[in-house]
Amino acid sequence: MIHPTAEVQSKNIGLGSKIWQYVVVLPGAKIGINCNINSHCFIENEVTIGNNSTIKSGVYLWDGLCIENNVFVGPNCTFTNDLRPKNKAYKKHIITKIKTGASLGANTSVLAGVTVGKYAMSGIGSVITKDVPDFALVYGNPAKIMNWLDENGNKLIENSDGTLNDKKGNKFKVVNEQLIPIK
């Protein structure tokens, strides 16, 4: 489904994807299957969006951005694509990655070149200036790790020995800002 007011120049739109009012998609963009691109979005040429991802209203996706599968990008999230912007100065695109299952809260800002890990989540208005590990919950300015999550976005429970548990009873520890399962 492509809304009649959308300007979609790309032929790389997956089956079942919906593109709503006043969206512009440039010819080189790639959008996976079953995606939902809400109104008033702009998607540049060198952008890839994986399957089953949602881009809420007011989000601009610049060259160099790779969004993997099952990602949620909240309303008015901001991505940068240049660490030192100068008017009319051509530069090679900086790759920014949002990995599978990640969720970015409304008004999150993401610095160019950052990777947001699998199933990571940012709180509303977060400013992400460095890589976010898999399963981390970050928020603030600058965003900091505040907790750890399971694949469904539930916070892990901290035990008295410093380990963490999910609702299924699986146990984890954090080593060098990485969530490690304990067998």
Q: Residue written as tokens 């530069």?
A: 91
74 domain residue, yes or no: yes
Closest CA to 144 of 135, 154, 158, 132: 132
Q: What percent of the chain has pLDDT over 90?
A: 91
Domain of residue 76, residue span: 7-83+91-147
pLDDT digits (tens, 9 = 90+) for 98-111: 999 999 999 999 99
Got the DSSP string for 31-97? E-TT-EE-SS-EE-TT-EE-TT-EE-TT-EE-TTEEE-TT-EE-TT-EE---SS--TT---PPPPEE
Cis peptide bond upstream of 27, omega within 30? no
Instruction: Examine residue 175 and state whether it is found in any structural domain, yes or no.
Output: no
Q: What is the pLDDT of residue 93?
A: 80
> Is the full-model pTM beyond 0.85?
yes
> Pick the residue with more confidence: 156 or 83?
156
Mean pLDDT of 121-146: 98
When the pLDDT of each residue in the chain is averaged and rounded to a whole number, the result is 95
Q: How many residues does the chain have?
A: 183
pLDDT tens digits for 11-32? 999 999 999 999 999 999 999 9
Return the structure tokens found at 127: 């400013």
Domain count, the chain: 1
Residue type, 13: I
Q: What are phi and psi of 136, to 5 degrees?
A: -85, 140
Instruction: Tell me how far apart the alpha carbons of residues 8 and 166 are, in angstroms, rounded to a whole number.
Output: 42
Instruction: Report pLDDT digits (tens) over 145-163.
Output: 999 999 999 999 999 999 9
Domain harbouring 31, CATH code: 2.160.10.10
